[in-house]
């Protein structure tokens, strides 16, 4: 497995642990449909939250907050709408979040974690 894939996997595991600790219920992970993939689908306080996880091992951690491009945001929105249709769920209050992680892959631990809430209006 390539290093960037390993870092991505570690990042998602850490994000799930963080979310559970913060009181989120994990509905689904790595949900895929024809529009794209959603890393984590969670629920909290009557919200369905679609979460993108960005992990890096380099010093470019700060850039993660700005690493979602218009095309990625468009796919994320469409994948979320399709999710509700596919699961036959009535549209509820939704939110799109980003969890940015700087990871030390050798130690399998985080150096930094930042949870950006409501990144898409």
What CATH number does the domain containing 36 carry?
Answer: 3.40.1350.10
The reply to whether 121 falls in a domain is no
Q: Measuring CA to CA, how many Å separate 3 from each of 64, 85, 120?
A: 17, 35, 29
The reply to whether 76 falls in a domain is yes
The reply to whether 71 falls in a domain is yes
N- to C-terminal Cα distance for the chain?
36
The reply to whether 17 falls in a domain is yes
Please give the model's pTM, rounded to 2 decimal places. Answer: 0.86
What does the alpha-carbon distance between residue 30 and residue 34 come to, in Å, rounded to a whole number? 13
| Residues 6 or more apart whose Cβ sits within 8 Å of residue 96 | 49, 50, 51, 52, 73, 76, 77, 80, 118, 119, 120
pLDDT tens-digit map of 18-54 = 999 999 999 999 999 999 899 999 999 989 999 999 8
Q: Look at the chain and report how many structural domains it folds into.
A: 1
- Residue 112, domain extent: 3-46+55-96+105-116
What does the alpha-carbon distance between residue 91 and residue 13 come to, in Å, rounded to a whole number? 27
pLDDT of amino acid 29? 96
pLDDT of amino acid 10? 83
The reply to whether 84 falls in a domain is yes
The reply to whether 75 falls in a domain is yes
The reply to whether 62 falls in a domain is yes
């Amino acid at each position: 497995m390539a290093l960037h894939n390993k870092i991505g996997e570690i990042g998602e595991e850490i994000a799930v642990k963080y979310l559970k600790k913060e009181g989120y219920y994990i509905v689904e992970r790595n949900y895929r449909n024809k529009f794209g993939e959603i890393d984590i689908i969670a629920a909290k306080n009557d919200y369905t939250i679609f979460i993108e996880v960005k992990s890096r091992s380099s010093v470019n951690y700060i850039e993660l907050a700005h690493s979602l491009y218009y095309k990625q945001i468009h796919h994320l929105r469409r994948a979320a709408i399709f999710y509700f249709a596919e699961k036959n769920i009535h549209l509820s209050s939704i939110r799109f979040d980003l969890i940015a992680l700087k990871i030390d892959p050798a130690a399998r631990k985080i150096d930094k974690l930042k949870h950006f809430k409501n990144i898409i209006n």
